[in-house]
């Protein structure tokens, strides 16, 4: 059974506050996120300029935006693993490596999307 909590507008405001706190922590503690956010901001005008249609522009922007989302998940996995222990453990290393692999796959996918749209 779910625990009682906030509902309606109060829940939305609380969730927004927590999301903002998460983004601030991500910005403060994760250099990779800052670099990828910079990539996203640089890619925005290029996506608008280079996309031939609204759909192409949206796909170009979305592909780079997904990198930020995947990086956020990766950072959350790393934070939980580090919270549990800083000792080396095979499963902890695997969890961190998998998160890193997810970010790499998102970056490769974004690059492929940009190449297909721009060269197509």
* Catalytic entry in 10, 56, 71, 90: 71
15 labeled binding residue: no
Task: Give the separation between CA 7 and CA 11, rounded to whole angstroms.
Answer: 5
Contacts with 94 (C-beta within 8 Å, 6 or more apart), sequence order: none
Angle between helices 90-119 and 31-50 (to 10 degrees): 20
Q: Determine if residue 88 is labeled as part of a ligand binding site.
A: yes
Known binder of ligand: residue 33?
A: yes
CA distance 71 to 38: 13
Q: Is 28 annotated as a binding residue?
A: no
The answer to whether the annotation marks 27 as part of a ligand binding site is yes
10 catalytic residue (yes or no): no
Feature table: binding site for a divalent metal cation: 30, 78
Feature table: binding site: 11, 18, 24-27, 30, 32-36, 57, 71, 78, 87-89, 96-97, 100
Active site residues: 71
């Amino acid at each position: 059974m779910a625990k009682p909590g906030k509902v309606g507008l109060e829940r939305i405001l609380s969730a927004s506050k927590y999301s903002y706190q998460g983004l601030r922590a991500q910005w403060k503690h994760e250099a990779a996120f800052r670099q990828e956010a910079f990539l996203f901001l640089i890619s925005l005008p290029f996506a608008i300029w280079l996309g031939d249609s609204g759909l192409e522009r949206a796909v170009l922007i979305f592909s780079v935006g997904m990198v930020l989302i995947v990086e956020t998940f990766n950072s959350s996995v790393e934070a939980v693993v580090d919270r549990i222990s800083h000792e080396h453990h095979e499963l902890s290393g695997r969890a961190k490596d998998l998160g890193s692999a997810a970010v790499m796959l998102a970056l490769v996918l974004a690059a492929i999307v940009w190449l297909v749209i721009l060269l197509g």
